[in-house]
C-alpha cells in the first residue's frame, strides 16, 4: 500500500476518532489480526516490502477518556496474548491518546503505510506526552538485506536461509521469530542456503527473519528523540531490553545553510534513527524517509508547500466562499486543471487550513470537504494552489517535524 496522509476535522469525540482510526489502518495496509471486541483490536504488518517480521499493535479504545497502545513482536489471536511487549518510553502513560487531545479547533492526523503510522487527534498540541503516537517498521533501512531463516538450537548452530545476499562470514546479525530474538555472528557459509553461527540459543521456525537488524518494529516517544524497538540489538529470547534508537536530523547550522531566502523556500531533511550505545553494536539503522522530514522550528498550523515543477505557488485572494468552495474572481484558470492539488490558506482568516481540490472552474475551486466552522476562512484571505503539502509538528521526536498530507477528508 502506498503512503496516505489523512488530515481532517471531526466532531472532537474520542469515539468518532476511533472509528476513523480503524478505517485508516486498513486503508494503509495493516491487517486486522485479532478482533477482540468493538473497542479492542490488534493489527499487524510485515512492512511495505512484505519481508519484515510481522509487528503487532494492540489498541484499546474501551474507556471513556483515552485510547491506549502496546506493541508486540508476536500476538496469538487464539489466546489473545503477545510476546515481547514494548511501550513508548517504557510507560503506558506515554502510549496513550488522552481525552484532552480530542477537540474541534484543530484537525486530527492519521498518516502512514504498512511501514510506519503516526496518529494525533489534535495537530495543535505540541510537546505533550499524550498528543500522539508513532509506530511501525523504519521505512528506509541502511542495510536492507533481510531474509527468512529457520534453525535448530545448538552451540554451533546452523540456519537455512531464503537468500544469501548480504549474509557473509563475520557479519553480526539478529534473528527474530515468534519464539523471541537473538544477536549472532555468521561463522561459515557452506552453501547459498546455509549459514553456520557462533551459537543458536533456541529453535526458530519458518517465520523467523535475519538481518542487521532483523526487525526495526517499534514505537516512538513524541516528546523525546527515541525509538523503542520490540527486539533491540542485544536482547535475547522473550526478555525485552531497555535500550532504544536515537532520532536525529541535520543540525540547525547545517540546515540553515540550505535555506533559499531569495525564493522563500528551503529544503527539508529525513529523520534518521541510529543506535550508539556502550552495550550494543553501534550503527545507523535507517530513516523515516521522504514523508516524515526535519526542518526549522514550526508553529501551530504551519505548512510547507511546493510544486512538482519547482515553481513557487502564486498568491490568490478570496473574493467568494461557500461551504466547500473558494473563489478569486480575477483568475482565469483552465477548467479542471487543479483537481488533486491543494488549496492552502497562507495569510488572513483561516490561515493554515489545507483542503484537497476536487475540481475547478475558471475562478472557483471545489474542495473535498467543508471548511471547518471553528476555523473559518474570510474574504481577502490569501490562498495558494500547491502540488505537495507538508504539515508542521513541533513535538514528534521532540523535533521540528514536517509530515506529508495527501488527503483532507475523513478516512473512508
Q: Is residue 151 part of a domain?
A: yes
Single out the residue of 231, 204, 207 nearest to residue 217, CA to CA.
231
In sequence order, the 6+-apart residues with CB closer than 8 A to the CB of 51 are 146, 147, 148, 209
Q: How many domains does the chain have?
A: 3
Single out the residue of 149, 299, 298, 125 nearest to residue 214, CA to CA.
149
132 and 250 in a single domain? The answer is yes
49 and 72 in a single domain? The answer is yes
340-362 mean pLDDT: 95
119-128 mean pLDDT: 79
What pLDDT is stored for residue 268 in this prediction? Answer: 65
Query: 189 phi and psi, to 5 degrees?
Result: -130, 80
291 and 312 in a single domain? The answer is no
123 and 154 in a single domain? The answer is no
pLDDT digits (tens, 9 = 90+) for 382-391: 999 999 999 9
61 and 170 in a single domain? The answer is no
Q: What is the mean pLDDT of the chain?
A: 88
165 and 16 in a single domain? The answer is no
14 and 111 in a single domain? The answer is yes
293 and 398 in a single domain? The answer is yes
Q: Is residue 303 part of a domain?
A: no
Q: Is residue 268 part of a domain?
A: yes
Work out the pLDDT band at 128, boundaries 50, 70, 90. Answer: low
Pairing of β 342-347 and β 382-386: antiparallel
289 and 329 in a single domain? The answer is no
pLDDT digits (tens, 9 = 90+) for 248-289: 776 544 444 444 443 444 456 677 777 655 455 556 788 888
In sequence order, the 6+-apart residues with CB closer than 8 A to the CB of 195 are 149, 158, 159, 161, 167, 186, 188, 189
Domain holding 195, by residue range, is: 147-211
328 and 374 in a single domain? The answer is yes
270 and 193 in a single domain? The answer is no
Amino acid at each position: 500500500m502506498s503512503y496516505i496522509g489523512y488530515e481532517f476535522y471531526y466532531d472532537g469525540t474520542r469515539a468518532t476518532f476511533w472509528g476513523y482510526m480503524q478505517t485508516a489502518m486498513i486503508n494503509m495496509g495493516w491487517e486486522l489480526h485479532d478482533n477482540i471486541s468493538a473497542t479492542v483490536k490488534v493489527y499487524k504488518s510485515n512492512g511495505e516490502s512484505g519481508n519484515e517480521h510481522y509487528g503487532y499493535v494492540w489498541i484499546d479504545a474501551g474507556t471513556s477518556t483515552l485510547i491506549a497502545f502496546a506493541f508486540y513482536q508476536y500476538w496469538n489471536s487464539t489466546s489473545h496474548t503477545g510476546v515481547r511487549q514494548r511501550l513508548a518510553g517504557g510507560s503506558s502513560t506515554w502510549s496513550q491518546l488522552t481525552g484532552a487531545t480530542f477537540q474541534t479547533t484543530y484537525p486530527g492526523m492519521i498518516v502512514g503505510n504498512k511501514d510506519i503510522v503516526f496518529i494525533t487527534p489534535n495537530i495543535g498540541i505540541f510537546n505533550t506526552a499524550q498528543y500522539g503516537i508513532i509506530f511501525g517498521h523504519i521505512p528506509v533501512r541502511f542495510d536492507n538485506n533481510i531474509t527468512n531463516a529457520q534453525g535448530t538450537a545448538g552451540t554451533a548452530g546452523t540456519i537455512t536461509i531464503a537468500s544469501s545476499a548480504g549474509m557473509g562470514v563475520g557479519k553480526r546479525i539478529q534473528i527474530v521469530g515468534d519464539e523471541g530474538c537473538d544477536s549472532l555472528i555468521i561463522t561459515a557459509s557452506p552453501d547459498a542456503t546455509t549459514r553456520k553461527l557462533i551459537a543458536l540459543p533456541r529453535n526458530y521456525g519458518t517465520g523467523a527473519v535475519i538481518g542487521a537488524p532483523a526487525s526495526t518494529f517499534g514505537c516512538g516517544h513524541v516528546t523525546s528523540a527515541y525509538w523503542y524497538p520490540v527486539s533491540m540489538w542485544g536482547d535475547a529470547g522473550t526478555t525485552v531490553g531497555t535500550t532504544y534508537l536515537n532520532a536525529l536530523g541535520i543540525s540547525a547550522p547545517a540546515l540553515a545553510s540550505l535555506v533559499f531566502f531569495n525564493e522563500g523556500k528551503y529544503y527539508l531533511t529525513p529523520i534518521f534513527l541510529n543506535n550508539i550505545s556502550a552495550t550494543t553494536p553501534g550503527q545507523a539503522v535507517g530513516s523515516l524517509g521522504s514523508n516524515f522530514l526535519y526542518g526549522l522550528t514550526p508553529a501551530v498550523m504551519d505548512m510547507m508547500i511546493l510544486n512538482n515543477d519547482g515553481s513557487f505557488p502564486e498568491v490568490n485572494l478570496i473574493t467568494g466562499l461557500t461551504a466547500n468552495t473558494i473563489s478569486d474572481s480575477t483568475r482565469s484558470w483552465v477548467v479542471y486543471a487543479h483537481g488533486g492539488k491543494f488549496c492552502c490558506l497562507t495569510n488572513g482568516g483561516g490561515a493554515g487550513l489545507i483542503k484537497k481540490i476536487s475540481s475547478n472552474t475558471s475562478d472557483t475551486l471545489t474542495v473535498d470537504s467543508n471548511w471547518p466552522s471553528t476555523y473559518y476562512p474570510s474574504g481577502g484571505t490569501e490562498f495558494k494552489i500547491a502540488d505537495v503539502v507538508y504539515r508542521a509538528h513541533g513535538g514528534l521526536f521532540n523535533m521540528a517535524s514536517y509530515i506529508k498530507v495527501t488527503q483532507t477528508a475523513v478516512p473512508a
